[in-house]
Chains A and B, each alone.
Chain A
Amino acid sequence: MADYKNEFGVFAERPKVEKKIFDRNKVIAGLVIFLVMVTIPLWQNLGKTVAAPTPNLDTPVIQKLAEKDKKCVMPKEWMRANHMQLLVDWRDNVVRTKEQQVTTSRGRNFVASDKKQYLASLTNTCMECHSNKAQFCDQCHNYVAVAPNCWGCHLETGKKLAEAK
């Protein structure tokens, strides 16, 4: 058998160390408790199903609309996936865009695909129809655990600027 070498010197053979866990029972009990604690959220929600959000379109303004006008500024499916991008684009275009080396506002009107124009505004346009923020916005946002900070400044009640005099 070759000599065993470690940082303290050369030994005739590998020192024998007993292979055992000290306080075996306590360690295993501790590990089990630790695992249970860490996975508690999993156990708690086991078998529970969280109802998928069902955004509610039942608001007075939407009810008043004629059947053919009951549509969003963009197709429903597109809005579902991209409304945040639309809002960011609206914001950038209304507040500041860089055009021809100058910073400016491009305008405030959004032209929909059917050439109808809408005021590009969260409070004045989106929230005017969808006045039920809790059912329409918050439900999904809570479901997917996002917290947009739009409403820190933008009001929930929508009314056209001209009407608000």
Chain B
Amino acid sequence: MGMDRREFIRIAGLSTLLGLGGKGAFELLAPGRVEAEIIPAPRSMKAKRWALVINQKKLDDATAQKCAAACHRVHNVPDFINPPDDKLKLNPGVANRYEIKWLWTAHFHNAFPGDAPPHLAEKVEHMSFLVLCNHCANPPCVRVCPTKATFQREDGIVMMDMHRCIGCRFCMAGCPYGSRSFNWMDPRPYVKEQYPGYPTREIGVVEKCTFCDERLAQGLQPACVEASRGAMVFGDLEDEKSQVREYLRKYFTIRRKAHLGTNPQVYYIV
């Protein structure tokens, strides 16, 4: 069978068109894809850059503990140091190493190492600083994660995708704030009271504060902010009218280890 050049080009062109159309149709009709039907909840809070201001002047020790407890309760954070059952009690050394912290307190020398003058104000010396993940604008944990299980969202939240974490702990080495904890053992028996709205974690993943992304999606303030009785302010750093910006205009604030270049987004009024 002979075919001249014109005939060949015509057939080749037509079959290419057919192939392209066929592929499109195949993708369009492929079963099981429903992703386009997910939308934000009507009340969900949106921001360009979430930030947190902690007013240490207003925050007493009891409130700080309450904030941490509220956070750990709504995120099913296990308590290895005071387990719910005496049978689960661990050797104190082990319990300290296994401890999982999303929000906890530290003294000035630990929270701001190297920043203390030789004679620190007595009040500040004994102050309990609430410390948590700083949701850095330049997060080292995200840079080192080999599976992109931790990533930066467009609104600045440094998120964890637990489904993807392989437990390599590079992020823990990368984080200069110690904000990340590894699940050395099954955390579920150590969760005091299971909070039904949030999952627990499994052995072998790293976890940390997520600025309560699940609450923001429902239009709620983060749990710690709600429990702080006005000592913490959460809002959009890019919005000039937000309360966060108002506080930053009004008060002098410090950030933890800002000299490292991570650009932390938790601000402290001391």
Contact = CB atoms under 8 A, between A and B. Distances in A.
A94 interface: yes
Interface string B149-174: 00111110001011100000000000
A154 B200 CA distance: 6
Nearest to B41: A109
A157 B197 CA distance: 9
Given A95-B161, A107-B40, A108-B44, A164 B217 contact: no
Given A93-B35, A104-B154, A162-B218, A154 B41 contact: no
B195 interface: yes
B141 to A, nearest CB: 14
B61 interface: no
B202 interface: yes
A58 interface: no
A107 B45 CA distance: 11
Interface stretch (A17-25, A27-35, A84-92, A133-141): A84-92
Contacts of A70: none
Interface residues of B, number: 33
A157 to B, nearest CB: 5
Contact of B38 (A107, A123, A159): A107
A12 interface: no
Given A103-B152, A157-B196, A111 B217 contact: no
Interface in A105-163: 105-112, 117, 119-120, 123-124, 149, 152-155, 157-162
Interface of B: 31-35, 37-41, 44, 151-155, 159, 161-163, 194-202, 213-214, 217-218
Given A105-B159, A106-B35, A123-B197, 12 more contacts: A81-B31, A89-B33, A90-B38, A95-B161, A104-B154, A106-B38, A123-B196, A149-B202, A153-B199, A153-B201, A155-B194, A161-B214
